[in-house]
Amino acid sequence: MVAVLTRIFGVQNLALAEDVVQDAFCRALEVWRMRGMPDNPAAWLMTTAKNCALDALRRERTARTFEPELSRFLQSEWTLAPAVEELFSPNAIKDDLLRMMFSCCHPRLKEEAQVALMLNILCGFSVDEVAGAFVSSHAAIEKRIARSKKVLASSKKLFDVGAAAEFSQRLPAVQRALYLLFNEGYHGASPETAVRADVCREAMRLTAVLLEHIAGRTPSTYALAALMALHAARLPARVDAAGNLQPLIDQDRSQWDAQLIAEGQRLLDLSASGPELSEYHVEAAIAWVHATAHRAEETNWAEIVKLYDMLIEIRPSPVVALNRAIALAQRDGAHRGLDEIRAIAGAEALAKYPFYHAALGELELRSGRQETARSHFEAAVGCARNPMERRFLQQRVHSCKGSPQSESA
Amino acid sequence: MSEFLYLYRGGERDSSPEQAQQTMQKWMKWLTDLGQKGHVKDQGQPLERTGKLVQGSKKTVTDGPFAEAKDVVGGYTLIEARDLDQAVDLSKGCPIFEFGGAVEVRPVMKLSM
């Protein structure tokens, strides 16, 4: 909604757009309290927003300048209402989302600022919710978002998605932001829950909008969408009925979403048209190998190691190296994995990452060194970012004390 | 290029909201087409049918409507055209004719100093 309204008012009036949305919500709540929820709240809200927009346009007509190419239509009552009507049509809304997505990925903004801005403007997350998703304080996120909005507003004009050269130039930044957004939901460091399915869904929705655009429909966008679908397919099994985090190996695979896996496979096929091999291709391929193994023992670890080797070439990072080491341990045994983990360059960056210590603990445990394993798991508990992670890691600590059989507890 | 004022006179108003919306779409399309050809100087505004009339040296105020319904000015647009003939020609696409109305085409007077 903010995206549509910003298109109408112009990016310099971003705050006005947000006020109008706020206004529409307040009006809706007032009426609903009196008369009860309407049958179609979303449509009702859209209509209310449309009317609020008309009011604001009439009120501010003389005081402000709106989006330059539209202002002619917005100045005159002859065309004001039909123009706004058209801007609220489903197709126009999709264009607005896209325009806003690209505008949020302004080169003057850092990646985390872009993601925060997307969550706030495009997904309608409040400052508190964004702060929750980023494990950051309300004040820090508020400042980050306010500063980013100022950058956005000073750009005077929303990104022109029709300009082919700029579009493909900024596309990687948009893909990256969507990827981070999805990750934030999937591995996120949210203090209450380990998995924010709503954030994942938003990332998938925005990626789908990108796929509908002719220039956005690149092999790497398909790969990104495939990656999201294949990971999302595992979401139902990632947390068990008791709210405990389940590692991939122990997940009840019958709970995986077969439809999403099929969708991921379809998208992955579509991504394989052309010479481009992006990090999203490789990550999607890894997710696909996991998703198609009906039992953990059937996992093709050799293939996964090969894919991680490729990923390290394309985008080297300590986390990728860690995952590669875990895959190596699965293929060749715990000692091999431990050697690899110890050899990771830049492991300091992982010192606060709970699953770095957990991986060390797991492999030590498998090698029969209970004591060492326990101290690693204890270090992992110390890094846990939410109660779910803490509970999960605590269990691993306990499993070290008893006999090796209790490992699966 | 010279300027001309279109005064929209008469024409029935729509009875239902759906009709009103359709009519608005027609006006939108017409004015957009004219605008794209570079003829619209100012889209102007539609006007309510009622109002007040102030007249005479005593500035008597009376209620509108001021004339017979078919003559009431319902709105205006300022356009640019080569000459009166072209301005008249351009006006023929106006949706008001479907509703029994008329377009009065008036050249803007150029005052020489």
Contact at CB, B77 and A82, closer than 8 angstroms: no
C-alpha angle A218/A224/A227, rounded to 5°? 145
pLDDT in tens, A317-338: 888 899 999 999 999 999 999 9
Question: E strands along A1-109, which residues?
Answer: none
Is A138 part of the contact surface with chain B (CB cutoff 8 Å)? no
Chain A CB contacts of B28 under 8 Å are 73, 78-79, 82-83
A189 has pLDDT over 80? no
- Integer-rounded Cα Rg, in Å, for chain A is 24
Coil, helix or strand for B76? strand
A191 has pLDDT over 60? no
Highest mean pLDDT among A11-15, A232-236, B84-88: B84-88
Checking ipTM against 0.85, whether it exceeds it is no
Chain A CB contacts of B80 under 8 Å are none
Residue B112 included in any domain = no
The pLDDT > 90 percentage for chain B reads 41
How many contacts does A have with B, using Cβ atoms within 8 A?
36
Contact at CB, A79 and B42, closer than 8 angstroms: no
Contact at CB, B27 and A79, closer than 8 angstroms: yes
Contact at CB, A78 and B42, closer than 8 angstroms: no
Average confidence (pLDDT) over A57-78:
79
The residues, ordered by sequence, that sit 6+ positions from A305 with a Cβ below 8 Å of its Cβ are A324, A327, A328, A331
pLDDT score for A268: 94
Residue B113 included in any domain = no
What is the average pLDDT score of chain B?
A: 87
Compare A49 and B87 and report the one with higher pLDDT. B87
Please tell me the total number of residues recorded for chain A in this structure. 409
Reported confidence tier of residue A3, pLDDT bands at 50, 70, 90:
confident
Reported confidence tier of residue A364, pLDDT bands at 50, 70, 90:
very high
Contact at CB, B43 and A85, closer than 8 angstroms: no
Closest by alpha carbon to A357, among A302, A387, A397, A320?
A397
A267 has pLDDT over 90? yes
A347 has pLDDT over 80? no
Report the DSSP beta bridge partners of residue B10. B101
A384 has pLDDT over 90? no
CATH of the domain at B59: 3.30.70.1060
- Report chain B residues touching chain A, CB-CB < 8 A: 21, 24-25, 27-28, 31-32, 35, 40, 42-46, 75, 77
Contact at CB, B27 and A77, closer than 8 angstroms: no
The residues, ordered by sequence, that sit 6+ positions from A302 with a Cβ below 8 Å of its Cβ are A331
pLDDT score for A281: 95
Count of domains for chain B? 1
d(CA A154, CA A225): 32
Report the DSSP beta bridge partners of residue B40. B79
Average confidence (pLDDT) over A57-69:
78
Reported confidence tier of residue B3, pLDDT bands at 50, 70, 90:
very high
- CA–CA min distance A50, chain B (Å): 14
Is A100 within 8 Å of A158 (Cβ atoms)? yes
Chain A CB contacts of B21 under 8 Å are 82, 85
Q: pTM for this structure?
A: 0.78
Give the single-character DSSP code of B106.
Answer: E
For A69-73, the CB contacts below 8 A with 24+ separation are A70/A7, A70/A8, A72/B35, A72/B40, A72/B43, A73/B28, A73/B32, A73/B43
Residue B31 included in any domain = yes
Which residue of chain A comes nearest to B44, CA vs CA? Answer: A76
Is A233 within 8 Å of A221 (Cβ atoms)? no
Is A386 within 8 Å of A189 (Cβ atoms)? yes
Contact at CB, A76 and B32, closer than 8 angstroms: no
Instruction: Please say whether the dihedral angle defined by the alpha carbons of residues A59, A63, A67 and A71, taken in this order, is positive or negative.
Output: positive
Is A69 part of the contact surface with chain B (CB cutoff 8 Å)? no
Closest by alpha carbon to A213, among A124, A102, A301?
A102
Which residue segment(s) compose the domain that B97 sits in? 2-107
Contact at CB, B28 and A82, closer than 8 angstroms: yes
Residue with tokens 């029994």: B100
pLDDT score for A304: 95
